[in-house]
Amino acid sequence: MSQNIDKIQDHVELFHQPEYQELFENKKAVEGMASPEEVEKIAEWTKSWDYREKNFAREALTINPAKACQPLGAILAAVGFEGTLPFVHGSQGCVAYFRTHFTRHFKEPFSGVSSSMTEDAAVFGGLKNMIEGLENAYSLYKPKMIAVCTTCMAEVIGDDLGAFIGAAKKDGSVPETFPVPFAHTPSFVGSHIVGYDNMLKAILLNLTEGKKKETTNGKINFIPGFETYIGNLRELKHLTAAMGVDATILADNELYLDSPNDGEFKMYQGGTTLEEGADSINAEATITLQTYPTVKTREYIEEKWGQKTFTYRPWGVKGTDEFLMGLSELTGNPIPAELELERGRAVDAMTDSHAWLHGKTAAIYGDPDLVMGMLQFMLEMGVEPVHVLVNNSNAEFEAEAKALLASSPYGSKATVWGGKDLWHMRSLLFTEPVDFLIGNSYGKYLWRDTGIPLIRIGYPIFDRHHLHRYSTIGYNGAINLLNWIVNALFEDIDRKTNIPSKTDISFDLVR
């Protein structure tokens, strides 16, 4: 099975070689694999209504949940602040998973360290690991702040982060005044959006302690939320600058996750400065662009800072209109002609493609705020959502989604499936097919099984490059969404009409 050094083959080609095919056949024999006929029979049954009923009745098993665990969101919030090193109190394997998950999506290095807990720490506690880990992280990587979160192991045994960090400072691992915010982020409850919320709140609590002033600083804080489209951070900066808003973006990881290749590696790129984070307590107001990853943070800002908070989702034309009008009302600044032009371009593009999308049916899955934003946009285009699946759902989201769907005649076919997974979605797509599916890279298995076109919008996107660099918010984001959806449908039409004299009736050059 050795390879020719002059012709190294990609695994896609490599595993088709005779020696690998023979290995696979031997493996089937050793494992007692069922016959191809039996496999085909069962596969066909899994497409039926009978199987769907059994599938939806399961309680003790989750298959491809379309969510991640809390620490993943916590470290994304952490790297949005300058010079901040995420520190995961748990085993090395956990933090390695988090780093690779982000690296595969953003195609950028993602730094994070762990306390390297093993069996002895699981029995006796991880205090020693914390003391040594903070000392090593501080001396080796020279951060300006270390943000600590936890994994399952640390939470199950009940490690007290506050006490541990206090002991580490007393032991001299880091200076007493060095900022070490911490958040308990057990992986067995909640999801990545809860972890983001917990960590952001912890960082703001740490940085703003004792920083409240008599007067405001005249700024407005913006919290993007669990944002994995770097283009959205740039679009937010573009919109606020055009509106003349003096903005502080809290957890601004734009440059960290999309840094230039200039020949020099920098572990910490960009981010909200610690001074800006500390002064955010004195802002006029805080605006979040996502509801569900900011629940505790908004509550903390309102109750402890005495600051007003607002939430807008600037997806599609209506959502962006509401966001800009809200900014105008808050600041007194008019909406500039520049943004009116962008709005006109978006409306023009939507008009151009409307006939191809109006009346199409769709399924969607993802995080609550992404799904809400996409529903807003699809309803504007006359797309009819049928299956709306959110695993990390709650009662508030489901009520909000149902209200939005009920507000449009195009939402009448939709069912909101909270707490379900992608194996449930498979049953839905086979028993009630739709014209296209919106979701992350994991949906490619649904596309392969059902043949329903997948439009990759969400997180993570591992199998396509550069989509995270685009925006999905604002008028420019609306054009991007439109582009992805309508051209994916054109590609599907071409695939289905590409056999000369048989299926090429509509293999048109002009669409």
Catalytic residues: 152, 156
Tell which phi-psi region holds residue 60, choosing left (phi > 0), alpha (psi between -120 and 50) or beta: alpha
> What tokens does 252 get?
């601004």
Cβ atoms of 319 and 312 closer than 8 Å: yes
Q: How many CB atoms lie within 10 A of CB 344?
A: 11
CA pair distance 334, 307, nearest whole angstrom: 23
Task: Find the length of the chain.
Answer: 511
* Maximum C-alpha span of the chain: 80
Cβ atoms of 294 and 222 closer than 8 Å: no
The dihedral through the CA atoms of 28, 33, 38, 43 has a sign that is negative
Cβ atoms of 270 and 144 closer than 8 Å: no
DSSP H/E element including 192: helix 192-208
Beta bridge partners of 145: 84
Nearest to 460 by CA among 105, 48, 72, 148: 105
Q: What is the dihedral of CA 321, 322, 327, 329, to 10 degrees?
A: 110
Cβ atoms of 78 and 84 closer than 8 Å: yes
Cβ atoms of 290 and 315 closer than 8 Å: no
Cβ-count burial of 13 within 10 angstroms (0-12 exposed, 13-18 middle, 19+ buried)? exposed
DSSP H/E element including 84: strand 84-89
Cβ-count burial of 449 within 10 angstroms (0-12 exposed, 13-18 middle, 19+ buried)? middle
> What tokens does 33 get?
């694999």
Cβ atoms of 102 and 295 closer than 8 Å: no
CA pair distance 174, 170, nearest whole angstrom: 8
CA pair distance 495, 483, nearest whole angstrom: 18
CA pair distance 250, 212, nearest whole angstrom: 17
CA pair distance 208, 59, nearest whole angstrom: 44
The per-residue DSSP string of 99-140 comes to HHHHHHHHSS----EE----HHHHHH-SHHHHHHHHHHHHHH
The position carrying tokens 């690779």 is: 100
Cβ-count burial of 76 within 10 angstroms (0-12 exposed, 13-18 middle, 19+ buried)? buried
